[in-house]
Amino acid sequence: MKQFRALVVLATLCCTGLVAVAQTPPPAEEPGWAKGRPKANSEAMRMAPVPAFPIPTAADKLPTSKFKLPPGFKVETWASGILDARGLRQGPGGNIFVSSLFVANKVYAVPERGERKAKVIIDKMPLATGIEYHKGSLYLATNTKIMRWDNVDEAKLDNLGEPKVIYDKLPGGTDHSWKYLRIRGDKLYFAIGAPCNICDPGEYAKIYRMNLDGTGMETIASGVRNTVGFDFDPKTGHLWFTDNGRDWFSEELPNDELNHVTAPGKQHFGYPYCHQGNLPDTEFGWGKSCDDYVKPAALLGPHAGSLGMMFYTGNMFPKKYHGAMFIARHGPWNRTKKYADVSVAWPDGKGGARVERFMTGFVENNQYLGRPVDFLMLRDGSLLVSDDHAGAIYRISYGRK
């Protein structure tokens, strides 16, 4: 009888334990950006993406006066009060179209002349980042679809009408799902970033192109973790792109990359197997050789957050900058020492490039005052730079006195 009672008590305790386990909520799923974070390192565990400001920085508080550029160049605040300013494109009527990302969920229009007050022309559009203007049509890509507004009348931007959805098979999600668009000829280029910090990306982590009506999609480059900036060399027509390196390898590794596509559809740039051309991944690099993947044209710094990239084709800047690439280094969030700048890179004619810092002053006391994102060259050859952190657009010009 005692044995029987003991078994009953044991069974009761087991059942109680099972109920307690069943009532314990499962651990929260780790966000994609945190995958690979060293949990034993308290400093790393305190790091997280830099939160976007909920309002733009006041015009008189912008860091414009702190920026430093090469002799002969000057920078001014071109427009302020543009929350979350990201992509920049221009219509023939002079309006500058400005996209946004996490906070604003809007597309703005800013007149080039007169009072530069941003008008919201598209609202309540999450991750409305990828933007392009081409022959009267405005293209916009979110994380789920690519849309096009045709016959855009820049004098009547209050009502664009309903867009035509040209592609609705983007995978969505939040990790590296925002887009960057370029049109060359009759093709629209965009990327689908890796859905994680480090993982087997499947059909993600590629640059694609399609016809302007959304048909005929084809792969241009593979092994691209996350590019949010690319452009075409005006001399060769080759595509160049920035690529954000994986996080949590270390504070100093790997570097972001500047890459050069010479054989569209046939090149793999390493992710997730190899980083910065010579660093096998600790998880996915086993049995792989970095020699099997395309080497970067240049390294852009550890966790640099390299975003917009544009070839300079104007005549205002000195001749040495003609055909050079301007690159926005948005700055790291998972690195103790912060930095951000506009850099410039020159192709070396051998597939590589030489990189120099061009515009600094975005960081003070290890805190971001601003973070550059994208570029637009105005008709006079001056250069606009968007800043999503401060919600502003700066204009760089040149003119020795």
Contact 226, 256 (CB under 8 A): no
Stronger pLDDT, 45 or 108, i.e. the higher one: 108
Stronger pLDDT, 314 or 43, i.e. the higher one: 314
Q: How confident is the model at residue 4 (pLDDT cuts 50, 70, 90)?
A: very low
Q: Is 340 helix (H, G, I), strand (E, B) or coil?
A: coil
Q: Residue 8: is its pLDDT beyond 50?
A: no
Looking at the DSSP bridge assignments, the partners of residue 141 are 130, 146
Contact 355, 268 (CB under 8 A): no
Closest among 345, 248, 249 to 47, alpha carbons compared: 248
Quickly name the fold that domain 33-398 has.
Neuraminidase (2.120.10)
β-bridge pairing 255-261 and 306-311: unpaired
What percentage of the chain carries pLDDT values higher than 90? 79
Residue 232, Ramachandran bin (φ over 0: left; ψ between -120 and 50: alpha; else beta): beta
**Cis before 272? omega within 30:** yes
* Residue in the structure block whose two tokens are 């399609």: 210
**In this predicted structure, what is the pLDDT of residue 313?**
97
Q: Is 327 helix (H, G, I), strand (E, B) or coil?
A: strand
**In this predicted structure, what is the pLDDT of residue 39?**
74
* Residue in the structure block whose two tokens are 């046939």: 266
Closest among 33, 47, 151, 35 to 91, alpha carbons compared: 151
**Cis before 56? omega within 30:** no
Measured CA distances, 292 to 201, 273, 379 (Å): 18, 10, 43
Largest CA distance in the chain: 106
Backbone angles phi, psi at 366, to 5 degrees: 60, 25
Q: Residue 15: is its pLDDT beyond 60?
A: no
User: pLDDT by residue (tens digit) across 253-279?
Assistant: 999 999 999 999 999 999 999 999 999
Average pLDDT estimate for 358-362: 98
**In this predicted structure, what is the pLDDT of residue 26?**
52
Contact 368, 50 (CB under 8 A): yes
Closest among 101, 84, 241 to 174, alpha carbons compared: 101
Contact 82, 118 (CB under 8 A): yes
* Residue in the structure block whose two tokens are 């691209």: 224
Q: How confident is the model at residue 21 (pLDDT cuts 50, 70, 90)?
A: very low
User: pLDDT by residue (tens digit) across 117-130?
Assistant: 999 999 999 999 99
Distance CA 150, CA 24 (A): 54
Looking at the DSSP bridge assignments, the partners of residue 343 are 327, 357
User: pLDDT by residue (tens digit) across 156-206?
Assistant: 898 899 999 999 999 998 889 999 999 999 999 999 999 999 999 988 999
* Residue in the structure block whose two tokens are 């090469």: 70
Closest among 257, 234, 235 to 245, alpha carbons compared: 257
**In this predicted structure, what is the pLDDT of residue 173?**
86
Sign, Cα dihedral of 337, 196, 173, 298: positive
Residues composing the chain: 401
Contact 247, 221 (CB under 8 A): no
